[in-house]
């Protein structure tokens, strides 16, 4: 059963230029992972620092493999350090 991972980040406008290459690197790596289907990034209209990523995976197992991969963790730690706070994750399945 496919799942959607909802990823929420607060990206202050003043660090967008610094954070963007890291986020692109993270997405590029995700694209190569088994079970990755698609992803989209949304920026909140009334609060542009809020970035929401909707990432679709073939299964919860594939998402968890990516979530626990050392490659993702290394990039994610750089993202969180840049943002000054942890990224939030929630995973959903379609009912």
Q: Where are the domains of the chain?
A: 3-93
Give the C-alpha distances (Å, rounded to integers) separating 81 from 11, 18, 52, 77.
12, 11, 18, 6
pLDDT digits (tens, 9 = 90+) for 35-71: 999 999 999 999 999 999 999 999 999 999 999 999 9
Predicted structure pTM score = 0.91
**In DSSP terms, which residues pair with 66 in a beta bridge?**
none
Query: What dotted CATH number matches 3-93?
Result: 3.30.70.100
What pLDDT is recorded for position 95?
A: 87
């Amino acid at each position: 059963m496919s799942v959607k991972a909802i990823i929420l980040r607060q990206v202050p406008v003043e660090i967008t230029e610094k954070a963007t290459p890291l986020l692109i690197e993270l997405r590029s790596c995700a694209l190569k992972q088994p079970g990755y289907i698609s992803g989209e990034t949304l920026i909140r209209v009334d609060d542009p620092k809020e970035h929401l990523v909707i990432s679709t995976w073939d299964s919860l197992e594939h998402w968890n493999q990516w979530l626990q991969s050392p490659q993702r963790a290394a990039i994610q730690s750089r993202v969180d350090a840049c943002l000054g706070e942890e990224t939030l994750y929630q995973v959903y399945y379609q009912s």
